[in-house]
Amino acid sequence: MNKPHAGGLEAHRANALALRLELGLPVTATGTSAVTFGGVVTASLPVMEGIARKAADDRQDAVFAVYNTDADTRPAWYFLVFRMLDSIGMVRVEPVCIGAENALVLVTVDKSRQFAIDGRGVLTEMPVAKATKRSGAFARAELRIAAAAEALAPVLRTGAWRADAFAFQTDGTAVPVDTAAA
């Protein structure tokens, strides 16, 4: 039996929604709108600067997946853009499973910092849990995200969940997808 798989940009949207859900946010909008999710194919300096500017302008932290090509269905890596009092921080992170019944958390690649979504839907930094350093914690998170993304693909095809559609030009400018240069 063949399983239909979302490919390319559809898979990127499914991954963004799956990560959102696995981090503990609902499918529907939250009252705080404090975290946004997305994906990019090229994580060049201008694009990353553009994402940081957009996070500051929109007053939203952001979790972005980076893909090697448009056709990839799994991200190569993730980065987190987070607001601070007087600047924007950006770190490479991995989603990590700290327990089957718990929401995923984000941990920096060097395992020195941990971020999670709190009960208000706001990204918060917290002490690094020992469970984040367990063997297989990242692999379990990847499996959860992939399973959720596969289950969500039909929802995305119906248009029941719509993401804000913007793209980043090579100079880092955010524009509506339908006006983006190829």
Residue carrying structure tokens 């559609």 = 165
3-state SS of 95-134? EECCCCCCCCEEEECCCCCEEEECCCCCEEEECCCHHHHC
Residue 102 has pLDDT above 90, yes or no: yes
Task: Give the mean pLDDT of 57-67.
Answer: 92
Look at residue 175 in the predicted model and tell me its pLDDT: 54
| 175: in domain | no
Domains held by the chain: number: 1
In a domain, 2, yes or no: no
Q: What integer pLDDT is reported at residue 124 of this predicted model?
A: 94
CA–CA dist 168, 11 (Å, integer): 18
Neighbours of 70 (CB within 10 A): 11
Residue 40: phi and psi, rounded to 5, are: -135, 150
Structural domain for 153, as ranges:
8-160
CA–CA separation, 62 and 40 (whole Å): 12
Categorize the per-residue pLDDT at 90 as very low, low, confident or very high, splitting at 50, 70 and 90. very high
* Percent of the chain topping pLDDT 90: 46
Alpha-carbon gap, residue 103 to 163, rounded angstroms: 22
Whole-number pLDDT of residue 7: 47
In a domain, 136, yes or no: yes
Does residue 179 sit within a domain? no
Indicate yes or no: pTM above 0.75: yes
Read off the tokens for 88: 């924007």
Q: How far is CA 61 from CA 1, 58, 139, in A?
A: 41, 9, 24
Decide: 177 and 167 in contact? Cβ < 8 Å.
Answer: yes
Tokens 């995305």, residue located: 156
Q: Is residue 1 part of a domain?
A: no
Please give the Cα distance from 160 to 12 (Å, whole number).
Answer: 16
When pLDDT is averaged across residues 23-40 and rounded to a whole number, the result is 81
Q: What is the pLDDT of residue 62?
A: 93
Flag whether 114 is in a domain: yes
Task: Give the range among 16-25, 32-41, 66-75 with minimum mean pLDDT.
Answer: 32-41
Average of per-residue pLDDT across 142-161 = 83
Q: Phi/psi of residue 73, each to 5°?
A: -100, -15
Domain assignment present for 3: no
Task: Give a yes or no: residue 182 inside a domain.
Answer: no
